[in-house]
Amino acid sequence: MTALMSEAGAPPAEEAKQALFNKLAARYGERFSRSEALRTQHANTLTWLKVQVPDAVLFAETTEEVSEALAACADARVPVIPFGAGSSLEGHLNAPFGGLSLDLSRMNGIGSVHESDLDCVVEAGVTRKQLNDYLRDAGLFFPVDPGADASLGGMAATRASGTNAVRYGTMRDAVLGLTAVLADGRIVKTGGRAKKSSAGYDLTRLLVGSEGTLGVITELTLKLFGIPETILAGVSTFKTLEGACNATIAALQMGLPLARIELLDEVQVRACNAYSKLSVPESPTLFVEFHGTEAGAREQVETFSEIAQAEGGGALEWAARPEDRSRLWQARHDAYWATKDLRPGADLIATDVCVPISALADCVIETKQDIDSLDLVAPIVGHVGDGNFHVMPMIDTESADERDRARLFLDRLIERALRFEGTCTGEHGVGQGKIGYLVAEHGEGVDVMVAIKKALDPLNILNPGKIFALDV
């Protein structure tokens, strides 16, 4: 570590940064780059926020290298932006103050799988698909499924969720422990393989969802599940959005063990039909999936069909073949790209909120009315089993009028979610895009968060400009 520390009597900021980069280049060779193309790839790419590229990129391969790099960056006062797979949606990867993008994608080793204990230890760069491919022969799987083939370290940092959350929970529930590197280069290990603990502060939960602002996650201990004996998936179309939402609420209140339940409004169905070559009627639709024994899963299908028909929906058209299920869920995961084809050339704003399940129908209906009143093209799709839904307005960012209408819609959407005692983001995170809504949701709690940030990262070099608008 000492070899990378800057000499006593540090030069001015820009000279210190250049001296640091020279040392990193000498230390890491081709794994350190200042290529413009590579730097741009490591900035934000999937949202309407302005792209802000880092000054350099470093590909780390071990926790010790991450520690070494962070200590050196702290000494030179250079910001560090952790990078996994690049799928974040709220500007998490942008570098508003420049600095070093720390790419962990090469840290992709699966350390150990404990089949009897249903857990595993992986490096942060392992992706969810990679892990599930590895686990398949053991009859196990990792259920958190945000859609993109995200890195597990990034999923933990953003407290990701996904289509399976209604049954299996989110990354908050899936992470048993982790290894992280703090802003000064210290390596800390939190949690462990025990299923519960009362020993001290829950540092695991503090770091899960911190979006790279408190530490860089390099290793994870994750909870696993057995692959179900039977998996049945199906589609049910409804006359109204209200009916689809009420069917979801009724199924959950009845205690039906849904594995997945996804809502698509008629605009999103039209987009998915065109992009994924489906033939679903263009009406509000629920994609559902049931896990269990063969008899149990079929009983769940029958029960849900009855609930759906009582709320104005059609009987569930289900598919038991793996290829049919895969096609259905791939179409759901491709909703982002399908939406972009609705209005070629326009920019897509992917946003989400989450409300208590009892408020879901009212919140979705009011949101749909707002979309219509503002004359926006904005499909609705969501993990409605836990009250989380996404809206994706398509706008011409060169049009001041469209930008204004989109901003008004986003403000109203958050205000509506908070009015229903929900949250400004169910799974996308705060990043840059939702900084302005945090005080409205948490009030004085934001000051506590800032105090924690300053205690662990007093120089504000870890992913600065995210969650809070603090100076570097």
Predicted local distance difference test score (pLDDT) of residue 56: 98
Q: Where are the domains of the chain?
A: 2-105, 110-226, 230-337, 343-430
Topology agreement, domain 110-226 and domain 230-337: no
Residue 141: beta bridge partners?
Answer: 225
**SS3 category, 173:** helix
pLDDT of residue 459: 96
Class of domain 343-430: alpha beta
Q: According to DSSP H, which parts of 292-387 are helical?
A: 294-310, 322-333, 335-340, 360-373
For the domain made up of 110-226, the CATH class stated in words is alpha beta
Backbone angles phi, psi at 3, to 5 degrees: -65, -25
The identity of residue 130, as a single letter, is Q
Q: What is the pTM of this model?
A: 0.92
Does the domain spanning 230-337 belong to CATH 3.30.70.2190? yes
Pick the CATH number of 2-105 from 3.30.43.10, 1.10.8.80, 2.40.110.10, 3.60.20.10: 3.30.43.10
Strands (DSSP E) along 307-432, which ranges? Answer: 317-319, 347-348, 351-354, 380-383, 388-391, 394-395
Contacts 24+ apart (CB under 8 A), 134-140: 134/110, 135/224, 136/227, 138/113, 139/226, 139/227, 140/113, 140/115, 140/224, 140/225, 140/226, 140/227
Q: Radius of gyration (Cα) for the chain, nearest Å?
A: 23
Which run of H or E residues covers position 452?
Answer: helix 445-456
Give pLDDT tens digits along the chain (472 positions).
444 443 444 446 899 999 999 999 999 999 999 999 999 999 976 777 889 999 999 999 999 999 999 999 999 999 999 999 998 889 999 999 999 999 999 999 999 999 999 999 999 999 999 999 999 999 999 999 987 889 999 999 999 998 999 999 999 999 999 999 999 999 999 999 998 899 999 999 999 999 999 999 999 999 999 999 999 998 999 999 999 999 999 999 999 999 999 999 999 999 999 999 999 999 999 999 999 998 998 899 899 999 999 999 987 887 767 888 888 899 998 999 999 999 998 999 999 999 999 999 999 999 999 999 999 999 999 899 999 999 999 999 899 999 999 999 999 999 999 999 999 999 999 999 999 999 999 999 999 999 999 999 999 999 999 999 887 7
- Three-state SS sequence of 187-222: EEEEECCCCCCCCCCCHHHHHCCCCCCCCEEEEEEE
Quote the CA–CA distance of 165 and 205 in Å, as a whole number.
17
Angle between helices 241-253 and 360-373 (to 10 degrees): 160
Of 337, 469, 431, 448, nearest in space to 392 by CA: 337
pLDDT at 320: 65
